[in-house]
Amino acid sequence: MDLYLHFILVNSEFSQGLADDLYEGEESEDNIKYLWEDEFKVSQPVKEFKIKNNSTYTLAGYFPDETAFSFEIDEMSVCDCLTESGERMLFAVSKKLVKKTEKTMSENKEETHMYFYLKDSLPMENPMNGVYILKTDFPKELRKAKKED
């Protein structure tokens, strides 16, 4: 199956009442429902995926000097994908950032869309595609390295 992940930042100032009264329930230029959306298609067909709530996500990579780093971040919602080729891919969002989630599947179940609606009231870091971490949980060592770039 093809898996699409949608990460949508909800505008907390959106007024459904105003939309209903003046714009037939739709958003307008001055009353925007979503501030941005990142959409990703998992690069390979997915055999199965699970959402693990209140999980630990390991953020790993390399500093600019090629030194490896690895940080465990708690209280994450992790989308764990197993592709048909056997590769495992992880996408993650801090649990406190998630306003709601939604899953839709096509009738033939060949295509699934997973939506993560995110709160705009908490600052976040987005170190790579499909990973959104509460700024207070983001490793301080990486913030320093990021500023130096």
Sketch the domain layout of the chain as residue ranges: 2-148
**In this structure, are residues 131 and 59 in contact, taking their beta carbons and an 8 Å threshold?**
yes
Query: 0.75 exceeded by the pTM?
Result: yes
Q: Write the pLDDT tens digit of every residue in 53-87.
A: 999 999 999 988 999 999 999 999 999 999 999 99
Mean pLDDT over all residues of the chain?
92
Name the helix (H) or strand (E) containing 146.
helix 140-148
**In this structure, are residues 147 and 140 in contact, taking their beta carbons and an 8 Å threshold?**
no
In sequence order, the 6+-apart residues with CB closer than 8 A to the CB of 139 are: 59, 69, 71, 73
Q: Write the pLDDT tens digit of every residue in 6-59.
A: 999 999 988 888 888 888 888 888 889 999 999 999 999 999 999 999 999 999
CA pair distance 56, 78, nearest whole angstrom:
8
